[in-house]
């Protein structure tokens, strides 16, 4: 079957902007905040509203398309099943803790998988009006401007993004603290952004040279991973491999690293 990826991209780009208005409206408002897996894993009514708009509007345009969406899957406690059919992988608000605190690094992350391979990646920060996009084989863009990963090839000259929130998980704490200490010693600097999707996009645009995080789901990184690779970077797990069919994202212990290709 032939799929019109360009049509899907143009339609969902507009829908993503529409959903972003909910985040812009809510960033400074009081939120109803609940926890899911722990204090590091928050959800608000805005997460659900954004997801509802995305799923409803995309379904209206493309009724046969399927969805793997964070809040729906979390509420139903279901394991995502990725088929060969066009499937939109959605994180309605990546960086919910940032959103709750009014910190402007928060975004919508949405990817399209066809035949178990991501072909569209969209990461939209409506607060800063940053639209990161990629179509497989056509490069990566920020607001329609081509972006590429950094040319820096030395760790001592590199800015490295990490995440600290998962150190709340006892099984991950020692590993994360040791890695953070090693990066503080070896890298030019480290940063904690609080959004996996945006951190990957910062690698894609050359702001950071590397990003590492433990404990992911597919909706956290599907879009950002495509944007990094289309910008010339590499995405891998802790074994040095990356599953193009996304199946390895379906376990909580998944580790991800996005880097400039100059390290390869």
Catalytic residue numbers read 70, 91, 93-94, 96, 220
Task: State how far the Cα of 264 lies from the Cα of 250, in Å rounded to an integer.
Answer: 26
For residues 116 and 245, the answer to whether their CB atoms sit within 8 Å is yes
237 labelled as ligand-binding?
A: no
CB 118 within 8 A of CB 219: no
Structure-token pair, residue 117? 């391979």
59's tokens? 């379904």
Annotated ligand binding at 70? The verdict is yes
Q: Is 6 annotated as a binding residue?
A: no
Where helices occur in the chain by DSSP H, the ranges are 5-26, 45-61, 70-76, 96-101, 170-186, 196-204, 218-230
Answer yes or no: is 214 a known binding residue.
no
Token pair listed for 71: 């809040």
Contact 132, 145 (CB under 8 A): no
Rounded to the nearest 5 degrees, what angle is found at the Cα of 152, between the Cα atoms of 146 and 158?
110
129 is in an annotated binding site: no
Binding residues for Mg(2+): 70, 91, 93-94, 220
Binding residues: 70, 91, 93-94, 220
């Amino acid at each position: 079957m032939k799929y019109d990826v360009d049509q899907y991209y143009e339609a969902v780009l507009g829908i993503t902007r529409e959903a972003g208005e909910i985040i812009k409206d809510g960033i400074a408002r009081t939120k109803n905040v609940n926890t899911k897996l722990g204090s590091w894993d928050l959800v608000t009514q805005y997460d659900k509203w954004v997801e509802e708009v995305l799923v409803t509007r995309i379904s209206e345009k493309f009724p046969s398309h399927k969805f793997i969406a964070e809040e729906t899957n979390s509420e139903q406690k279901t394991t995502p099943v990725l088929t060969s059919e066009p499937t939109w992988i959605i994180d309605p608000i990546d960086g919910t803790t940032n959103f709750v605190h009014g910190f402007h690094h928060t975004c919508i992350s949405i990817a399209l998988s066809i035949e178990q391979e991501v072909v569209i990646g969209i990461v939209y920060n409506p607060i800063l009006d940053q639209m990161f996009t990629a179509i497989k084989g056509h490069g990566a863009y920020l607001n329609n401007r081509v972006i590429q990963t950094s040319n820096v090839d030395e760790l001592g000259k590199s800015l490295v993004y990490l995440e600290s929130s998962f150190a709340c998980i006892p099984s991950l704490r020692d590993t994360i603290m040791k890695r953070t200490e090693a990066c503080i010693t070896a890298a030019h600097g480290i940063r904690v952004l609080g959004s996996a999707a945006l951190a990957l996009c910062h690698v894609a645009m050359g702001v950071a040279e590397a990003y590492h995080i433990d404990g992911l789901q597919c909706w956290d990184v599907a879009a950002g991973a495509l944007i990094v690779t289309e910008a010339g970077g590499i995405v891998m797990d802790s074994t040095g491999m990356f599953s193009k069919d996304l199946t390895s994202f379906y376990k909580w212990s998944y580790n991800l690293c996005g880097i400039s290709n100059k390290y390869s």
